[in-house]
Amino acid sequence: MIALENVSYSYKKWVGVTDVNLKIERGEFTYIIGPTGSGKTTLMRLIYMDLFPEKGRVLINGFDTNRLKNRHIPRIRKNIGMIFQSYNLLSDRDLFQNVALPLHVLGMKRSEIKEIVSEMLNEVGLYGKEDHYPEELSGGEQQRACVARALVKQPEIILADEPTGNLDPITAYDLLELLDTINGEGTAVFMASHNYTLIRDRGHRMVQIQEGKLRA
Partner 1 sequence: MDKFLFLVGEGFKNMWRFKLTTLTSVFSIFMTLYLIGLLFTIGENSQKLIIYLRSKYKIEVFFKQEVTDQQARQLTEQIQKIPGVRSATAIVRANAAQIFKRQFGEDILTILDANPLPASCVVNISRTQNTAVDISPIIDSIRQIDGVDEINFQGRLINRIEKYYDLLFKAIVGAAVIVLLVTVSIISNTIKLTVYVRADLVKALKLVGASNMFIKFPFIIDGVLQGLMGSVLASAALYGTITAGNHLIANMTNRIRISSDIYTISFWLISVAVLIGMIGASRASAKMLK
What does the binding site for partner 1 look like in residue numbers (CB under 8 A)? 48, 70-71, 74-80, 82, 88, 90-92, 101-102, 104-105, 107-110, 149, 153
CB of 196 to partner 1, least distance (A): 28
CB of 161 to partner 1, least distance (A): 11
**H helix intervals, 73-190:** 73-77, 95-105, 110-123, 139-151, 169-184
Sheet containing strand 55-60, edge to edge, reads 15-24, 2-10, 55-60, 63-64
CB of 44 to partner 1, least distance (A): 11
Query: Which is nearer to partner 1, 45 or 202 (by Cβ)?
Result: 45
Can you tell me the distance from the alpha carbon of 72 to that of 195, in angstroms, rounded to the nearest whole number? 34
Find the helix or strand (DSSP H, E) in which 89 lies. none
Can you tell me the distance from the alpha carbon of 28 to that of 179, in angstroms, rounded to the nearest whole number? 12
Q: Please, what is the angle between helix 139-151 and helix 110-123, to 10°? A: 130
Query: Which is nearer to partner 1, 86 or 181 (by Cβ)?
Result: 86
Query: Which is nearer to partner 1, 31 or 48 (by Cβ)?
Result: 48
CB of 75 to partner 1, least distance (A): 7
Query: Which is nearer to partner 1, 105 or 177 (by Cβ)?
Result: 105
Cβ neighbours, 10 Å, residue 93: 14
Query: Which is nearer to partner 1, 78 or 213 (by Cβ)?
Result: 78
Can you tell me the distance from the alpha carbon of 6 to that of 120, in angstroms, rounded to the nearest whole number? 37
CB of 201 to partner 1, least distance (A): 31
What does the angle CA 124 – CA 169 – CA 196 come to, to the nearest 5 degrees?
Answer: 105
